[in-house]
A and B are shown apart, each in its own frame.
Chain A
Amino acid sequence: MLITGAELFVKALKAEQIDTLFAYPGGQAIDLFHVLYGENDIDVILPRHEQGLIHAADGYARSTGKVGVCLVTSGPGATNLVTGIATANYDSVPLVCFTGQVPTGLIGNDAFQEVDIVGITRSICKYAVTVRKREDLAVIIKKAFTIARTGKPGVVVVDLPKDIQKEYGSDEYPEKIEIRGYKPNLSVHAGQIKKALETLNSAKKPLFLIGGGVSISHAHSEMQKLAEITGVPVITTIMGKGVIPTIHDLYIGNIGIHGSYAANMAVSNCDVLFSIGTRFNDRITGKIGHFATHAAIIHIDIDPASISRNIEVDIPIVADAKTAISALLEKAQKLDIGEWSEQIEQWKSQYPLFMKTKGLTPEKIIREINHTFDHAMIATDVGQNQLWATQFLELSDKKQLLTSGGLGTMGYGFPAAIGAKIGNPSKDVIVISGDGGMQMNIQEMATAVCYELPIIVCIFNNGYLGNVRQWQEMFFDKHYSSTCMRYRKSCPNICNSPTERCPEYTPDFTKLAESYGAKGIRVTKENEIAAAFETAKNTLKVPTVIEFMIEPEENVMPIVPPGNALDDMILV
């Protein structure tokens, strides 16, 4: 049977079991929306901006493990995806983004709303392609989903010219395809596993370093088992946090620039660092020449390009984390490391993570979240709110963190939570955001209200772009350059601390929430936290915005100053 390209598009989505589509229409995508009209098997979600759209698809994908699918029009519709594509790809989130395009005959003519989106996104996605012939459409869509969800997952961009959407052609959609240039590693080298275990077993001070890759391959229970069998303590990156429950006896904490003292000391003193699914990003290594200098380093990663790039590795293992950990479990044994474990306990109790400020602090808010919610998805924005969240949140298989770890995209948290709630309607979804990042995608409040999503949005309002302000305070002579969100035209040009004369904050987040039809609560005192969450929990049809008026100059501590080694931290 002959069907149009647009009809084949819908058929392909169904074959790929896509039931949710994040989509914003426009001239060059109108044919696709036409065939989606009245479609019962696919929920079409209409956000309010394409950036919000793709972050929502990203949050949906991270929280469900499914592929997130975006559909936008050409030109500005496509370019508005760019930040979201980079965000998702950096954190290995499987997305397929369909962009409308001007008809093939007009490509290159500077037509209305024409951009070379494949050219723009080529370096920030896993694969990008323009469909040039109707007969290639089915294979290209199949290829897109295969590439997005396998190996190291990532983003695929499929650019769909309007004439191809309308052209009639075959209705066949392949079940499987071979991609000759794409062969993700499905097995694990038995010899390397054996070597890794021998090295681990001979260690006196071993340590597991767990990154986001373990979470992506859904190896949570295997990893926990491996830690428990061997008795080896575990540290995580931000992206790996929660792979084993954070209250587990073997869990030490996050490492890195704002990692815990014990975790950073452990990595600096271990003799075998067994790392899985991390690329040794500069935020976790600190001064690179001083990173884990006493350790033999074992590194499991699905991406060969991540191995021995930042850190020279002694035993490389290219494999999917789950496959490799399962292979390790077959021969893993208990290690005799009592002294080392005691040393770690001592570091943990010496400088636990805490905030010294009195009154309403991010720590107290986050601890209340830990206490109030049993099954939850917590999405953070980027900046201090994210760092506090990754320090104090308790995570487990029932509580998952969604955060932009690689790209560090402000404006990510709220729309990602929308996607997470759509994908997990029975779970509580909480956003931890700052007043800066919240305003980067505030328009999605309408989406959350329209789709009746009772998301709980915590805004830590300190009136500053807090993370940059903290750096200005600590390393730039307290020159608060362009970081004050209260600044108005009438303010002096130079200002380095908040005073009572400071102008009023705008917007009023509670009124803004209410104008959207959401609930708005402002919390100014510590003893109001619990009641605010209680109200939010009982609000079932609309989002609740809780604006927490926190100390303006609160800092994230401890911190490894730029250029320092991990064990050279400022603690309080």
Chain B
Amino acid sequence: MLIVELIKNLFRKPETVRYPYETKGLNFPERLRAMHVIDQDSCIGCSKCARACPAFVIQMVPLTEEELAKRNEKIKRKRVKPVIDLTACIFCGVCEEVCPTDCLNLTNQLVMPSGRKEELEVG
């Protein structure tokens, strides 16, 4: 029996992969909560996500002059936009739940190591 197991294990693939260099063979479930995506064109700046966030990581930042000029007709009254600090986010998904326009979504993009803090801000 031991020899059978031994031979089997000799030709078996390793259980692990060299993450994050390899992501092949990793099954990310549909409900996985990872990096956020915010569609600023449909965001109305209501601040619901910032108020609901249990980790207090969503800041409502005033729009710049350029962004104010770019706003489309639908969101004419928008003055602020959400910016999420991923370094302190607990990925609970509450912001996604409370968003009235579905502009804030959690993707299953897990790979987010970075040396610069600015890269870990979504907004």
Tell whether A and B belong to one assembly.
no
Q: CB within 8 Å of A: which residues of B?
A: none
Q: CB within 8 Å of B: which residues of A?
A: none
